Copies of this chain bind each other. A is one copy, B any other.
C-alpha cells in the first residue's frame, strides 16, 4: 500500500501522513527500492487512532508527549489498535485537555456575556490600566 491509498483508507491525505511521521507520531515506514513509502493495515489503524484523538481535541503535541506509550498500542497486538485512548497512558493528557477545554469554554462564555451586555446597555467593565 502506497501513501495515497493508505491515507484514503484512514480517511485523510498523504500530506497528513508525512506530517505525522515528521512529528514523530508515525515511525518511518518501509520503502520500496525506489524510495516510496509502504504501509500495512497496522499503520492505517494507527492513523485512524491518531485522527480520532485529534478529533476530540487532543493536539499533536499531546500525542507526541505520550508517543512512547502510544507505541505499545501497535507493538503488542497486531492490528487491534483502532482506538484505545481510554488507555491509562493517556490519562494525564486527557485530563489536562479537559481542563483546558473547560477553561476555554468558560472564557468564551464570559466573553459572550460581556459582548451581549455591551450591545444591550452600551457599557461594560472597561479594563483600564491594570
Contact = CB atoms under 8 A, between A and B. Distances in A.
Interface of A: 11, 48, 51-52, 55-58, 82-87, 90-91, 94-95, 97-98, 101-102, 104-105, 108-109, 111-112, 114-116, 118-124, 126-129
Nearest to A83: B126
Q: How many copies does the complex hold?
A: 2
Which of A84, A108, A114 has the most B CB atoms < 10 Å from its CB?
Answer: A108
A85 B48 contact: no
Contacts of A98: 112, 115-116, 119
A65 to B, nearest CB: 16
B52 A127 contact: yes
Contact of A119 (B86, B112, B115): B86
19 contacts: A11-B127, A11-B128, A52-B124, A52-B127, A56-B115, A56-B118, A57-B111, A82-B126, A85-B118, A85-B122, A86-B118, A86-B119, A86-B120, A86-B122, A95-B119, A101-B108, A101-B115, A105-B108, A108-B108
